[in-house]
Amino acid sequence: RVVIISKEVTCLYERGSSLYCVVIFLVPFFWKVSPVQ
């Protein structure tokens, strides 16, 4: 999770990679919500 947080922070500074940003935020979110592990 630490690595993901660091990527999220980096993403905030990298305005150009908005799509990559969305993936980094949504993947962990759906991973927690999804009943399949």
User: pLDDT (tens digit, 9 = 90+) per residue, 1-37?
Assistant: 556 566 666 665 555 566 677 777 778 777 777 776 5
Distance, in Å, from the CA atom of 19 to the CA atom of 34, rounded to the nearest integer, reads: 21
pTM of the model: 0.32
pLDDT confidence of residue 16: 56
Distance, in Å, from the CA atom of 14 to the CA atom of 22, rounded to the nearest integer, reads: 12
Number of domains in the chain: 1
Structural domain of 12: 2-33
